[in-house]
Amino acid sequence: MENGEIPENANEHCPGPQSESAGKSDACQGCPNQEVCATAPKGPDPDLVAIAERMATVKHKILVLSGKGGVGKSTFSAQLSFALAAKDFQVGLLDIDICGPSIPKMLGLEGQDIHQSNLGWSPVYVESNLGVMSIGFMLPNPDEAVIWRGPRKNGLIKQFLKDVYWGELDFLVVDAPPGTSDEHISIVQFLQATGIDGAIIVTTPQQVSLIDVRKEVSFCKKVGVPVLGVVENMSGLCQPLKDFRFLRMTENGEHTDLTEKVIEYMKEKAPEMLDLIAASEIFDSSGGGAAKMCTEMGVPFLGKVPLDPQLCKAAEEGKSCFSEQKCSISAPALKSIVEKLMAKYWCKEMSVEQSSDAHQDAFIHNCPFKFIESWVGVNTLCMCFVDSLCKMILCSYFDVKSFTIWFTAGYRSTAKPDQALDHGGDIPVITVTKVSSSSHLCFYSWNLIKGTAGTTNEAVVFV
């Protein structure tokens, strides 16, 4: 029980050896460690300090919860992560569903392994700004069951938080298992001191699911985690009419496929019907669904996501529903929910994101340099011409989040615009210039060291 670790042979719902109730609570009865825990010195868990240090580089932490399994919580977690990454945020997705890790599948990362470095465990990356961590990467066989008691699951969650090196993150999305059990208590306990933005709760419309979601809301209120909102998933089946199969059932229960005939008939008699979207209620929402529950419990309702076969396919293939036009029904609904979250809770981050394009446009249109080529993002190659002669060539990178300009190289040449450029070995390389204002970036200038002709040139960049 070093560092307050919960022993593997502890009873389920063990309060932990550092708890004041260690060895004394009802959960401790019959535990082989009961006497040791009751007499052991109590104190703060040193691992919480390590977790706080790791989480210091994470701006926002979001829990994705559900009262019931099978409501599409992991699908929502995956697509939320894809959506945030598509906005150029640095995103981490942590899967703490120890017994049913589905995130590797939904991110297209099956078969990947975790690597270690001197900084800790490295996440598996979907893209350069979207990293994932899951026990699914640690299983030798994907079909192998994880048969662990609560203390061992809690120990792995703690290890994920203190040993995974995420680097600088804008958002850490935590996909939790359904319910309100050990994993939920642990993640809240471990992250509480570092600040949790809140929880997004996913449900389906029927009362069977909403009953358990009410318990999830109650859990969040008891442990002090704000409820960012509730998403009603699988809110009716929506699909283009032309994508349906049309069957005729025989008396003995067999089906005859009439799809081809029906489609041909519609093309001939009513072609406008082929553009219609067909909708059907899969779950009983006569009780008012998630919207009514949110009103009754005083929590925000974020919106509805229809049951879209194309979204299901995207999850199976580990793809983003936003990258292609196939998820034309579910993607707009998910995007609306993400935008609502951004506007309500992370408007500062959204303003930085929106300012990115504005700053880039200002850089391109207002700089007195003639731009020869534009690279990725705001990595830019530009030249300054004076009297039809190139006096300066500059490679620059402008980081809109930290408002820093990086000048990576400088050259001088007396070549005409259509001639090859000479390298000016006497030109200084300028490294970092901080911009003092986030709203109005300033003029920056630098002097070139005297060249062979004995002249000093000056160039000015306006961003």
Chain segment 258-272, per-residue pLDDT in tens: 999 999 999 999 999
% of the chain residues with pLDDT over 90: 50
Predicted pLDDT of residue 28:
86
> pLDDT tens, 363-378?
444 444 333 333 223 3
**pLDDT at residue 353 in the model:** 54
70 annotated ligand binder: yes
- Note the pLDDT tens digit of each residue in 16-36: 776 767 777 888 888 888 877
**pLDDT higher at 366 or 195:** 195
pLDDT digits (tens, 9 = 90+) for 136-156: 999 988 888 999 988 899 999
Summarize pLDDT for 59-94 with one digit per residue, the tens: 999 999 999 999 999 999 999 999 999 999 999 999
Return the exposure string of 205-241: e unless at least 16 CB atoms fall within 10 Å of the residue's CB, then b. Answer: bbeebbebbbebbebbeebebebbbbbbbbbbbbbee
pLDDT the model gives residue 434: 35
288 is in an annotated binding site: no
Q: What is the model's pTM?
A: 0.69
72 labeled part of a ligand binding site: yes
Has 410 been labeled as part of a binding site? Answer: no
Instruction: Please answer whether residues 27 and 14 qualify as being in contact, where contact means their C-beta atoms are separated by less than 8 angstroms.
Output: yes
Residue 220 assigned ligand-binding role: no
Q: Nearest 5°: CA angle at 460, between 458 and 463? A: 165
Residue 14 annotated as part of some ligand binding site: yes
Comparing 263 with 253, which gets the higher pLDDT?
Answer: 263
In 3D, which of 33, 130, 15 has the Cα closest to residue 78? 130
pLDDT band for position 13 (cuts 50, 70, 90): confident
Contact 49, 29 (CB under 8 A): no
Residues with Cβ within 8 Å of residue 373, at least 6 apart in sequence: 381
10 Å CB burial of residue 50 (0-12, 13-18, 19+) is: middle
* Residue bearing the bigger pLDDT, 304 or 458: 304
d(CA 74, CA 66): 10
| Residue 74 marked ligand-binding | yes
Could you read off the pLDDT of 175-186 as tens digits, one per residue? 999 999 889 999
31 is in an annotated binding site: yes
Do residues 444 and 460 make contact, with C-beta atoms less than 8 angstroms apart? yes
Q: Give me the half-sphere count of Cα atoms (radius 13 Å) on the Cβ side of residue 436.
A: 3
434 is in an annotated binding site: no
At residue 459, φ and ψ (nearest 5 deg) are: -125, 150
